[in-house]
Amino acid sequence: MLFFGALIVILIYIISIYNRLIQLRNQFKNGFAQIDVQLQRRHDLIPSLVESARAFMGHERETLTQVIEARKQASAARADAKSHPENGASMAALGRAESLLSGSLANLFAISEQYPDLKANETMAQLMEELSSTENRIGFARQAFNDLVMNYNTYREQFPNNFIAGLLGNFQAASQLELQNPAARQATKVSF
């Protein structure tokens, strides 16, 4: 009788660990879904931004083409990551593609400063404001996603959870979404 009681307690404990792993995995997948919504919004804004800029920046075709190509790559990487948010390679590819897109947009914004008519254009200003707001939302959603991934990975790696996760085999380590932005890692230079 004592043996069966101990067996039932162990079984309940294993089930609770399994259920907690499922809960944490679903939370980080939902966290990525929130990022996906913001990335989709960002990708939807870019064609309008490029079309608005095209009228004013006729001889900057290379920059505009670069932005559109970066958006296309980021959209493909987002679709792959959306179907496999637990895949580290997909997250790394998405991070690289979004970083490339951010760089292209920064280049477009820098060049647009040279066109006073473009800067004064109400549509362009509104699109740039929406894109800036979306970038902030992406940052917050990415932070929340990375926190959820960390919670999942920490719980998964604790003993005896790591044994149960390995035994069941469908609880792989998740990867955080890191955007490579070398400019953000540079110290700010202040000169007087």
Percentage of the chain modeled with pLDDT above 70? 93
What does the pLDDT average to over 53-81?
87
Domains and CATH numbers, the chain: 12-173 (1.20.1440.20)
pLDDT of residue 59: 67
Q: What local confidence, expressed as pLDDT, does residue 170 receive?
A: 85
Higher-confidence position of 165 and 191: 165
DSSP state string for the chain: -HHHHHHHHHHHHHHHHHHHHHHHHHHHHHHHHHHHHHHHHHHHHHHHHHHHHHHH-TT-HHHHHHHHHHHHHHHHHHHHHHH-TT-HHHHHHHHHHHHHHHHHHHHHHHHHTT-HHHHH-HHHHHHHHHHHHHHHHHHHHHHHHHHHHHHHHHHHHSTTHHHHHHHH---PPP-------HHHHSPPP---
Inter-residue contact 172 to 86 (CB < 8 Å): yes
- Joined together, the tokens standing for residue 174 give 């998740």
What is the token pair recorded at 96? 């690289």
Going by pLDDT thresholds of 50, 70 and 90, the confidence category of residue 190 is very low
Say if residue 181's pLDDT is above 70: no
Is the CB of residue 63 less than 8 Å from the CB of residue 108?
Answer: yes
Mean pLDDT of the chain: 88
Q: Please tell me whether the overall predicted TM-score, pTM, comes out greater than 0.75 for this model.
A: yes
Contact 67, 18 (CB under 8 A): no
107: which 2 tokens? 């280049």
pLDDT reported for residue 56: 75
Q: What is the tens place of the pLDDT at every residue in 5-47?
A: 999 999 999 999 999 999 999 999 999 999 999 999 999 999 9
* pLDDT tens digits along 108-130: 888 888 887 777 788 888 888 99
Q: Which residue has the tokens 């970038």?
A: 135
Would you say residue 192 has pLDDT above 50? no
